[in-house]
Homo-oligomer: A and B are copies of this chain.
Amino acid sequence: MAATMDHRAPVPRDAENDYTPAAAEMRREFLRERTGATLEHVSSFSFDPGLLPGNVEHFTGVAQVPLGIAGPLLVHGEEAQGEFYVPLATAEGTLVASYNRGMKLLYASGGVTTTVVDDRMQRAPCFLFASAREARAFGEWLVERFDDIKAAAESTTRLGRLQDIEQYSASRMLYTRFNYTTGDAAGQNLTGKATQAACRWIVANYPDVEQYFLESNFATDKKSSQVNMLRTRGKRVVAEAVIPDVVLQATMHANSELLFRAREVANLGGFMSGVNNNGAHSANGITAMFIATGQDVANVAESSAAFVYAEQRPNGDYYYSVTIPSLIVATYGGGTGLPTQRECLELLGCYGAGKVNKLAEIVAATVLCGELSLGSAIVAEDWVQAHDLLGRNRP
């Protein structure tokens, strides 16, 4: 542990302009010398690094993630209507094929219906007081002065609108959730800034606040939580479909009875295991779309939560739905304007203003297709076995 700050070799920067091919090459050279890595392929980017301020620091090159296309995906949303070819950036074999197979199944079944049922992005400051009684009084004051607080918050943002402030009390604290709508941006930065402004106004006007923290695990950005599954973070979006049993049998080597039995067993399994998603693997499709379209991929942590609900209908048809309670997507800001990311958004007709719900709907429809595809694959194994088992009883 002889390391001292004197010997520390920080990543070099160009003080003039750090977003140039030369600055990137300087860093690669620095890294080559120190580690022996070649860093050839990462140097192969097709755009001007001048685009990158606000997206990355110490820019050194790019990761090239393979892009496959699944589709056509047939969607009957409020914003997304028609057929889509979905870009999936992944290195996991069979992922694209599996989603593609599910899209074919749903196409044959008449498509996926999608609905964005809620929309709220939050920052969650916690306020500390001398005791619980002062915390309760503060909670009442928050309600009374909501309009002033809203004004303070919104003074910092063009897009963000403070909808309400939820309160959760414990001990001498009041935890809050400041819920915003944020237009086509995902809104984490916007809500952070607005809530900081609101907090400053609050402590200036309510002297009893002993201390506050801008965040205390009640917005759970980039983490999965029950509160977000209950109260929504980002978009709450539902994808639904009815799959005729004959289509299941023809294309999936499965049927609705077997799929439904597997679902019941998985529901109980998920309840026991304490999972945040009683479905199969929504993170696969979501992650691949997030990388492709320039979303904040770390939001897979909370965007991967899901509620699956299915019914075997009296006629044998299979009603299937996925609810994603905390899907964080944007068609503006963050990585959405980067070159390949923008191209993938354009492929979906989702680049720019007024498109965020459309994107949310396409993500949800994609997820549903992937669930049915993997679910059928698990069951098809059993389908074979079921025949075997039946066969065993015969002479």
Please give, as numbers and ranges, the residues of chain B lying within 8 Å of A358 by CB-CB distance. Answer: none
Q: In the complex where A55-B93, A266-B216, A270-B217 touch, is A238 in contact with B171 (Cβ < 8 A)? A: yes
**Residues A266 and B213 in contact, CB atoms below 8 Å apart:** yes
Is A16 engaged at the interface, CB distance under 8 Å to the other chain?
no
- Chain A, residues 211-237, CB within 8 Å of chain B (1/0): the string is 111111110111111111110000010
- Which of A29-37, A146-154, A155-163 sits within the interface? A29-37
Tell me whether B173 and A265 are in contact (CB under 8 A): yes
Q: Does A1 contact B (CB under 8 A)?
A: yes
Instruction: Provide the A196-224 mask, 1 if CB < 8 A to any CB of B, else 0.
Output: 10000001000100111111111011111
Interface size of A as a range = 35 or more
Q: Is the CB of A63 within 8 A of B344?
A: yes
Q: Given that A85-B35, A225-B274 are contacting pairs, would A60 and B65 also be in contact in the complex, using a CB cutoff of 8 Å?
A: no
Q: Which of A56, A63, A175 has the most CB of B within 10 A?
A: A63
Q: Chain B residues with Cβ under 8 A from A294's Cβ? A: 91
Whole-angstrom distance from the CB of A234 to the nearest CB of chain B? 14
Copies of this chain held together in the complex:
4
Counting CB contacts under 8 A, is A278 at the interface?
yes
Which residues of chain B are near A271, meaning CB under 8 Å?
267, 270-271, 278, 307
**Contacts A214-B378, A291-B297; A37 near B343 (Cβ below 8 A):** yes
Chain B nearest CB, measured from A132 CB (Å): 4
Contact A91 B266 (CB under 8 A): no
The residue in chain B whose Cβ has the minimal distance to the Cβ of A295 is B91
Specify the chain B residue showing the minimal Cβ separation from A132. B238
CA distance A171 to B94 in the complex (A): 28
- Which residue from B47, B72, B284, B343 sits with its C-beta under 8 Å from A222? B284
How far does the Cβ of A338 sit from chain B's closest Cβ, in whole Å? Answer: 6
Q: Provide the bound-state CA to CA distance between A73 and B177, in Å.
A: 35
Flag if B11 contacts A171 (CB, 8 Å): no
Q: Knowing A85-B31, A216-B269, A335-B92 touch, does A55 contact B59 (C-beta < 8 A)?
A: no
Residues of chain B lying within 8 A (CB to CB) of residue A222: 281-284, 304
Having A31-B85, A216-B269, A217-B267, one finds 19 other A-B pairs with CB under 8 Å, namely: A44-B44, A53-B93, A55-B66, A56-B93, A57-B97, A63-B65, A90-B335, A91-B294, A115-B133, A170-B268, A220-B275, A220-B277, A221-B281, A223-B304, A224-B304, A225-B270, A226-B275, A271-B278, A284-B298
